[in-house]
Structure 1
Amino acid sequence: MAYLTQPDYVKYACSCGQIKPITSLYFCRHCLQIRCGFCICHEVDSHYCANCLENMPSSEARLKKNRCSSCFDCPSCFHTLSTRATLAQPRQTPEQGSGDSKVENKQAKKMYYLSCFNCRWTSRDVGIPDQPVASGGWPERVNPNATRINQLLDYYKAIAQQEKQEKLDRERKKFAIRGKYITLTDKTGLTGAMARNIAGLPSSESTMSAIANFVPSEASADVEELSEDFYTKELNLNQITSMPQRLAAPEWQPSSVSRLYPIAKLLSVKRSQRCRACDHNLTKPEYNPGSIKFKIELLAFYHVPEVKIISYEPMKPGCTSALLLKLTNPTGHEMQVRLLQPEEVPDTEDRLEEPKSLEKSLEKSLNLEKDNLWYETVQRKADVTATCRVVTPDVTLTLAQRDDAAEYDDDATHDANDIILWRKSNKLALRLQVRCGEEVEAGSAAEAALTLQYRYRNTVPAPHEPRDHTLHATLMLQLGHVSG
């Protein structure tokens, strides 16, 4: 008998056909479907620095190139640099009218420099002067090619905007009907220029001027010659930067260690995840960067019954083995569960197709929204081909609601039943039988498919909709390998 507690041995089927552990899935309580990472949209809520926890809006983060102005990483080992203080001794100045020198009556001034506690790199190693303030006063390096890089960025942005506008114009002419208003923008006279202004995009005049005034680069045959001692000079690897050190500063790519400068720390983001089918939030964090709580946290772990494998007997071709499962009700309401075979699940026409409304599609294109290609994908069933078959009993199991106080109760109720092994709070242990196919070869993976039919109560139902729903969750059980 093997005891398994890892969640990867029990995987659930998503509505798109992916099979993943329950800890990697979400549950949308608006469309009542299990969603995986491919069925959701990721949106950035806020930018913040993971070191100083400074929160900044997206516009400011864009201007700062998504980097913090007061926190730095070590250019040698990439650990966070710390600010250290030191006392600067007063300078000796010659006395006026004589050759003697004296020390001015000044107190020692506190100065600050950056230091790495991991590799002992300091900002003094590259000649960066000490600063009188602890943060915010460090000099910024100016890229000599910044002007050319900005010109290239503006040029390619103008090219992309021009191609997008041409695509929108072609789609608009394709559905144009004389004498009829296709969209509200045709009736009110909202032109493409006004739509771009509303969306905050550059105008067509500025786009054309950026393309016309662009000066392309020209190749030059003059190449700087190598130094005379390039091949004869002794190589010291301790003075040469590694490839990760060069790629960490792509603007300069220093070749020697003496040219390593502190790297501004990259900003982190708090992101929310939204269901692509109904556009409702599945997870939404708090705005405070120091908080780890969520305003919305619709994880499948809190809504779908959890199944764990307690133990199982070795699988043999053509034989029946025992299987012990544990079911857990994560919700605060009583739940009825039935065990079914995957082929017994009724087919529901829950497919998302491309919007048929021509007016809606044109309106989305005029608003310059991004194309949602997910509408073109059709939901499919998961591939639950298994080598073993679980004998499902024709009974309805009742799981009690979740009670946090009952977690500390060690008493379990043992039922005089061939199926139920024991009960404890919102948990239930089942004794089942698994049949292995006779054609299964020894050494192959023993997998069994099972479907849970459970009663789910929606705590925030829409008006005129029922609160209780009958849902299905298909899962795959990994039962080791078939023995000979």
Structure 2
Amino acid sequence: MAYLIQPDYVQYFCTCGQIKPITNLYFCRHCLKVRCGFCICHEVDSHYCANCLENMPSSEARLKKNRCSSCFDCPSCFHTLSTRATYAPARQDPAAGDAKVENKQPKKMYYLSCFNCRWTSRDVGIPDQPVASGGWPERTNPFANRFGQLLEYFKAIAQQEKQDKLDKERKKYAIRGKYITLTDKTGLTGAMARTTAGLPSSESSSSAIANFVPSQAKEEVEELPEDYHTKEVNLKLITTMPQRLASPEWQAQLVSRLQPIARPLSVKRSQRCRRCDHNLTKPEYNPGSIKFKIELLAYYHVPEVKIISFETIKPGCTTELLLKLTNPTAHEMQISIIQPDEVPEVEEKEEPKSIEKSLEKSLNLEKDTSWRQVIERKPLLPTTIKLHKPELSFTLAQRDDAAEYDDDSHHETNDIILWRKSNKLALRLKVTTDEEAKVGSPAVAILALQYSYRNTVPPTANSPQTRDHVLYTTVAIHLGTVTQ
């Protein structure tokens, strides 16, 4: 497992300028761009409990405050609590004496126990329950009503400010005889648009603001006990800061007042490209499945670069670098190594706006389209190490899973190509270090790959009709530090 903690020596440049390993990048087959975690939009598909694998819709998860009702975490060590069974002693009737027993058979009862720190629900006085799951009492916060009033008040203020801003923009760009949005043309009022989008009306927002009672500070504050500064403190009886922050509604000060923490729900999320709004990853709905319906990772579409070996990097010296290229696709790939400055800049065209999208934008007042803006930045490339570009293009065969078990490799006599094996290729490249490079500075070699890609997505009206494309990617290879 040592490879899991090793640093990433080969990193790829995203279109936004971020440098990430190929396992952390995505590839959009519609706009043919490499995307990182900052260039995609994350959407929640389903909520589920990671312990019992119970799946629930978003509305139910919102009502339960994104907590599972049957699974709990230990408030002391945050380990998952287990349900233990015990038998309650039979109750006796005091009027009839010891001879008459009300229940001859003992009743099975359940309590929560932690296998890690040995904390139990009996330690804090929680009575045993006759049901294994779903019967544990829930505490109600005495300030729940006040929290609800504050939440409604701030929601109303945010809705009112957004509506005022929208009205100002409409008045600013209003032109006589022309319609700005479809709501103006069809006569759809703002109230009907809010009702269609499922938003609260303006009357309810104004009433929530008018009926709100602000908080008032008290002039008299309860005094501290006399022995507050002289009383001896036992740290074993006082909760720690992580234990208090685990339940922010209560924040128990004593260990004897800790309560089981309902386990937070996990989510399955899908990811979309911010530019073209197509899915990059989409998991299965079943929480017990780890498969994906759509999984467009860059690892399966972009040629992979690995370091075989390299010599010591010294200022003003030319050294050799051995790399291995892999074709992960199911089609042949033509690869050429070029300088990073030779990568052409391609301007992305905006998609034409359809009537359906304009209508959706006019009806949904809460929709924010700022997440579609992908800022493309050209990466800052170091100039201490220069790569000698080979005047040769390579052809890599398609990926073949059965060829992984074949030990035969074809060795070539070329000075650049060392050997070939299935969809893999080993290269010998030369890099020259600048004479002014400081000793101890990081040695990073930058190269660009020009490769052919065959798109298997069916063409649409907005996408290009051609299947074969020539794409570019920039790779940063970390070769340690510059030595003497």
TM over 0.5: yes
Tell me the residue number matched to 1:113. 111
Residue 294 of structure 1 deviates from its aligned partner by 0.6
Q: 473-482 or 341-350: which moved more?
A: 341-350
Tell me the residue number matched to 2:189. 191
- Distance in 2 between the 1:206 and 1:230 partners? 48
Aligned match for 1:164, one of 162, 165, 168: 162
- Distance in 2 between the 1:406 and 1:344 partners? 35
Residue 357 of structure 1 deviates from its aligned partner by 11
Residue 106 of structure 1 deviates from its aligned partner by 2.0
Q: Deviations over 1:237-291 (max 9, x none)?
A: 1111111111111111111011100011101110111000000000111100111
Aligned match for 1:307, one of 295, 301, 305: 305
In the superposition, relative to structure 1, how do residues 142 and 418 fare at CA in structure 2: closer, same or farther (>3 Å)?
same
- Distance in 2 between the 1:69 and 1:342 partners? 55
Q: 307-316 or 433-442: which moved more?
A: 433-442
Q: Deviations over 1:284-335 (max 9, x none)?
A: 1110011111110001011000001111111222221011000001111111
Structure-1-length-normalised TM-score: 0.94
Structure-2-length-normalised TM-score: 0.94
3-state secondary structure, aligned to 1:103: coil
In the superposition, relative to structure 1, how do residues 153 and 369 fare at CA in structure 2: closer, same or farther (>3 Å)?
closer
Q: Deviations over 1:20-77 (max 9, x none)?
A: 1111110000000000111100000001111111100000100001001110011111
Tell me the residue number matched to 1:364. 361
- Distance in 2 between the 1:135 and 1:100 partners? 34
Aligned match for 2:218, one of 220, 226, 230: 220
Tell me the residue number matched to 2:435. 438
Does the alignment pair 1:11 with 2:11?
Answer: yes
Alignment of 1:55-454 (within 5 A): 55-96=55-96, 101-350=99-348, 364=361, 366-374=363-371, 378-454=375-451
Tell me the residue number matched to 1:468. 468
In the superposition, relative to structure 1, how do residues 26 and 368 fare at CA in structure 2: closer, same or farther (>3 Å)?
same
- Distance in 1 between the 2:90 and 2:373 partners? 73
- Distance in 1 between the 2:353 and 2:135 partners? 57
Whether the aligned pair in 2 keeps the contact of 1:386 and 1:446 (CA below 8 Å) is no
Unaligned 5+ segments in structure 1 are none
Whether the aligned pair in 2 keeps the contact of 1:95 and 1:102 (CA below 8 Å) is no
- Distance in 2 between the 1:299 and 1:359 partners? 30
In the superposition, relative to structure 1, how do residues 270 and 377 fare at CA in structure 2: closer, same or farther (>3 Å)?
closer
In the superposition, relative to structure 1, how do residues 137 and 313 fare at CA in structure 2: closer, same or farther (>3 Å)?
same
3-state secondary structure, aligned to 1:278: coil
Amino acid at match of 1:30: H
Identical-pair percentage: 75
Residue 376 of structure 1 deviates from its aligned partner by 5.4
Amino acid at match of 1:91: R
3-state secondary structure, aligned to 1:92: coil
- Root-mean-square deviation (CA, aligned residues, Å) is 2.2
Whether the aligned pair in 1 keeps the contact of 2:92 and 2:98 (CA below 8 Å) is no
Residue 436 of structure 1 deviates from its aligned partner by 1.2
3-state secondary structure, aligned to 1:102: coil
Whether the aligned pair in 1 keeps the contact of 2:39 and 2:374 (CA below 8 Å) is no
In the superposition, relative to structure 1, how do residues 465 and 107 fare at CA in structure 2: closer, same or farther (>3 Å)?
same
In the superposition, relative to structure 1, how do residues 210 and 143 fare at CA in structure 2: closer, same or farther (>3 Å)?
same
3-state secondary structure, aligned to 2:386: strand
- Distance in 1 between the 2:354 and 2:169 partners? 14
- Distance in 2 between the 1:468 and 1:356 partners? 27
- Distance in 1 between the 2:365 and 2:168 partners? 14
Which 4+ runs in 1 deviate beyond 4 A?
355-363, 374-377
- Distance in 1 between the 2:344 and 2:48 partners? 47
3-state secondary structure, aligned to 2:365: coil
3-state secondary structure, aligned to 2:411: coil
Q: 358-367 or 166-175: which moved more?
A: 358-367
Residue 382 of structure 1 deviates from its aligned partner by 1.3
Whether the aligned pair in 1 keeps the contact of 2:274 and 2:373 (CA below 8 Å) is no
Tell me the residue number matched to 1:483. 483
Amino acid at match of 1:120: R
Residue 454 of structure 1 deviates from its aligned partner by 0.4
Amino acid at match of 2:451: Y
- Distance in 1 between the 2:50 and 2:112 partners? 18
Amino acid at match of 1:51: N
Amino acid at match of 1:14: C
Residue 94 of structure 1 deviates from its aligned partner by 2.3
Tell me the residue number matched to 2:455. 458
Q: Deviations over 1:380-403 (max 9, x none)?
A: 211122311111211110111111
Whether the aligned pair in 2 keeps the contact of 1:94 and 1:101 (CA below 8 Å) is no
- Distance in 2 between the 1:39 and 1:197 partners? 33
In the superposition, relative to structure 1, how do residues 352 and 480 fare at CA in structure 2: closer, same or farther (>3 Å)?
farther
In the superposition, relative to structure 1, how do residues 329 and 318 fare at CA in structure 2: closer, same or farther (>3 Å)?
same
3-state secondary structure, aligned to 1:8: coil
Residue 349 of structure 1 deviates from its aligned partner by 2.0
In the superposition, relative to structure 1, how do residues 209 and 105 fare at CA in structure 2: closer, same or farther (>3 Å)?
closer
- Distance in 1 between the 2:223 and 2:438 partners? 68
Whether the aligned pair in 1 keeps the contact of 2:182 and 2:358 (CA below 8 Å) is no
